[in-house]
Structure formats: structure tokens, C-alpha cells
């Protein structure tokens, strides 16, 4: 029985209405109404898991996200994360987290992952890890590429959070599923996944209805679109530091 997830969803939807966020979800039909699936999403904000999870709600799917262990150790967030059956990722024991995710997928759960591992400060898709493709292949389930765009304006790495900002458009896109198998070249499929995620993000950026106001620093736009976000190379150097 789901005791924690439904009230959390209700609280989030209430906040979205209060802030009058302009939620635009497309591609939700690609998420299966039953059976396991991996949602592989781009990562530009600390709030992406909330918006990514919205895509499954039209077919009554609740996504179990893989998230770093430190969140589960938090006295407030931890009980909520465990109550929603999210999956802790201990970077010192990554195989155990991977196997927990595979078990959930085989049990018919939708598992959400951020293959870039950390937030992209360049607002482009970084290099991604093979875990999403490998776990889908092992569990025999599809991978669904996804992107969220606009959430970085509310709360992202290197900028103060602004959870009172109103009328912000949030674009959520799910792409067509593909089905890795254990016989496939996992590295090649991972590069294919990255290309799919990049195409979704590029399209969301083109579709985005807002532009920075003349008086505003266009910090939330990537450099290749005229913004002041660091280039991918500069962002990689920041990550190392």
C-alpha cells in the first residue's frame, strides 16, 4: 500500500498551482501502463525527479528514483524517500544499489535514473554512465529517454534557490522507448541513449516559451544559445574542482 507517495504528489501539485508553474508534459504515452521500465532523464536541477515523475502519473505509475545515500540520511527527506520506495545509491557499494534497481524492475516497477550522475552546470547533456542500459538489459525492460527543462530556474547547482518564483514554464518530454538486451554493445547503446536525451533537450530548449528579460543575466541558458552558463568544458572543470 502506498501511504507516503500520494500525499507527497498532492503537496507538490498544490505548490505547482500556487506558483502557477506552466507544466507542459509530452510523450507520457511512451511510459507503459504496467511492467518495468527505466526512465533515463537529463539533469539540470535539484527538482528534476519531481517533474520527471509527473510523466508517469497519467498511467498511474509511480517512479522509484535512484538517489544518493546522503538524501536518505537526512532526518526530514530520509523517511519520505524510504516511504516512496526510492532506491539509495551508496557510491562505496554501487553494485548493491544496482541489484536493488534490477529487482524493482523485474517486479514491474518504473525506476528513474539520472545517467549523468550529477547536475549539468552547462545545461547540456554530459557524458553518461552505462547503468541505465545495463539494468534495463538485465531486467528485460525498456529504456525511456527523458528531459526536463526550465526547472533550473527554480533551483540548480551554483545558484540560489528561488522556490517562490511564479509562472515558470517547465517542459517535460519523454521519448520513444528502446529495448536493450544482454547481447548488445552496452557502450554503443549508452551513446545512443545520450544522443536521444540530447535531442529531447535540444527540442525542449527550442520550444521553451520564455527568454531572459533584458535586465536579467541569462544564466539559465547554455552558452551555445547565448546564455552565460559555463561551456561543457568549463563545467567539467568545475565538477573536478
Give the domains, in start order, of the chain with CATH numbers. 5-240 (3.40.1130.10)
Cβ-based neighbours of 121, under 8 Å, separated by 6 or more:
156, 157, 158, 229, 230, 235, 238, 239
pLDDT bin (cut points 50, 70, 90) of residue 109 is very high
The stretches of the chain forming alpha helices (DSSP H) are 5-19, 48-54, 69-73, 77-83, 94-106, 131-139, 186-207, 232-240
Q: Convert the pLDDT of each residue in 185-241 to its tens digit.
A: 999 999 999 999 999 999 999 999 999 987 678 999 999 999 999 999 999 999 988
Q: Convert the pLDDT of each residue in 6-39 to its tens digit.
A: 999 999 999 999 999 999 999 999 999 999 999 9
Amino acid at each position: 500500500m502506498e501511504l507516503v507517495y500520494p500525499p507527497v504528489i498532492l503537496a507538490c501539485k498544490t505548490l505547482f498551482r500556487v506558483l502557477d508553474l506552466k507544466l507542459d508534459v509530452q510523450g507520457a504515452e511512451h511510459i507503459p501502463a504496467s511492467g518495468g521500465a527505466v526512465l533515463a532523464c537529463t539533469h539540470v536541477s535539484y527538482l528534476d525527479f519531481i517533474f520527471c515523475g509527473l510523466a508517469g502519473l497519467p498511467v498511474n505509475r509511480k517512479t522509484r528514483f535512484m538517489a544518493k545515500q546522503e538524501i536518505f540520511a537526512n532526518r526530514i527527506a530520509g523517511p519520505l524517500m524510504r516511504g516512496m520506495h526510492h532506491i539509495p545509491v551508496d557510491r562505496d557499494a554501487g553494485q548493491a544499489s544496482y541489484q536493488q534497481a534490477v529487482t524493482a524492475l523485474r517486479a514491474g516497477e518504473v525506476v528513474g535514473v539520472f545517467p549523468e550522475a550529477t547536475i549539468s552546470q552547462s545545461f547540456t547533456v554530459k557524458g553518461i554512465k552505462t547503468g541505465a542500459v545495463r539494468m534495463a538489459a538485465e531486467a528485460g525492460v525498456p529504456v525511456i529517454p527523458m528531459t526536463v527543462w526550465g526547472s533550473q530556474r527554480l533551483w540548480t547547482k551554483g545558484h540560489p534557490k528561488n522556490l517562490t518564483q511564479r509562472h515558470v514554464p517547465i517542459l517535460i518530454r519523454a521519448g520513444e522507448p528502446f529495448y536493450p538486451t544482454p547481447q548488445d554493445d552496452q557502450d554503443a547503446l549508452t551513446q545512443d541513449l545520450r544522443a536521444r536525451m540530447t535531442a529531447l533537450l535540444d527540442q525542449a530548449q527550442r520550444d521553451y516559451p520564455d527568454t531572459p528579460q533584458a535586465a536579467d543575466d541569462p544564466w539559465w541558458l547554455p552558452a551555445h544559445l547565448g546564455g552565460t552558463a559555463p561551456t561543457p568544458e568549463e563545467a567539467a572543470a568545475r565538477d573536478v574542482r
